[in-house]
Amino acid sequence: MLAYNRRRGCNDGNEAKRSKSGSGRVEKDAGEVGRAEAAPAQRRRNAAARRETAVPSRNTPRTGARLSRLVYLDSSVIIEAARGRSALIRPLLEDPEVRLASSVFVQLETLPKCVYTNRRQEVEACATIFSAVEEWSANLGAVTKAALSQAQHSGLSGMDALHVAAAFDVGADELLTIEGTEKALYRNTLIKVRQLI
């Protein structure tokens, strides 16, 4: 346990104290526990400060607005773009203020059938879109847990709930879809959903 803590950097140079019972259990002092609990909050504050003070690139307009927004693409958008409506997604791919996010769930909904039926143009279109993705949802355990909760509370289908939870996981500003506003997807409580027309 002590070696594990040292590898992860949890000790901060302080030696852990063995319990007086001699059981070999490692006890952390109160200061160390407090630092460990405060670390995630401090990282969030530091990240926010970096975003606020970041130097804009030469392609970014020098306004007081955020430097970029993170957009999670629903599989419906990628399917439409792959089937020939590339004008639907081109503005997003060309906008320097937009960063794309996705997940393995979107890939599962879009790629397998195109590959299986040998529709090469659709496979290439999907590959182009996925190559532009900057943020991938990787915390599958937390995503599936949040998806189950959203499906139960908002009436979402399983796959829509996974997309909502994955978008939330990567910190997306919005989830873009071509589905109509009457769909259950818009009832979720985790992330803003916007229809891309």
76: left (phi over 0), alpha (psi -120 to 50) or beta: alpha
The confidence score (pLDDT) of residue 89 equals 84
Lowest mean per-residue pLDDT among 60-69, 85-94, 139-148: 60-69
3-state secondary structure of 100: strand
| CA neighbor of 164 nearest in space, from 152, 151, 153, 181 | 151
Sign of the CA dihedral running 190, 192, 196, 197: positive
**Structural domains of the chain, with CATH:** 2-51 (no CATH), 69-195 (3.40.50.1010)
**pLDDT tens digits along 23-69:** 444 444 444 444 444 555 555 555 454 444 333 333 334 444 456 89
User: Residue 70 gets which letter from DSSP?
Assistant: E
Report whether 100 contacts 71 (CB < 8 A).
yes
CA–CA separation, 155 vs 151, rounded Å? Answer: 5
Residue carrying structure tokens 């430097």:
67
Among 114, 121, 95, 122, CA closest to 176: 95
Q: Note whether 14 and 29 are within 8 A (CB).
A: yes
Tell whether pTM > 0.75. no
DSSP 177: E
Q: How far apart are CA 187 and CA 150, in angstroms?
A: 9
How high is the mean pLDDT of the chain? Answer: 76
Q: Tell me the pLDDT tens digit for each residue of 5-14.
A: 333 344 444 4
List, in order, residues 6 or more apart from 138 with CB less than 8 Å away: 169
The pLDDT-based confidence of 92 (bands split at 50, 70, 90) is confident
Bridge partners of 18, per DSSP, are 26
Q: Decide: residue 144, CB within 10 A, 0-12 exposed, 13-18 middle, 19+ buried.
A: middle
The token pair that represents 27 in the structure block: 């006890």
Instruction: Give the separation between CA 150 and CA 91, rounded to whole angstroms.
Output: 30
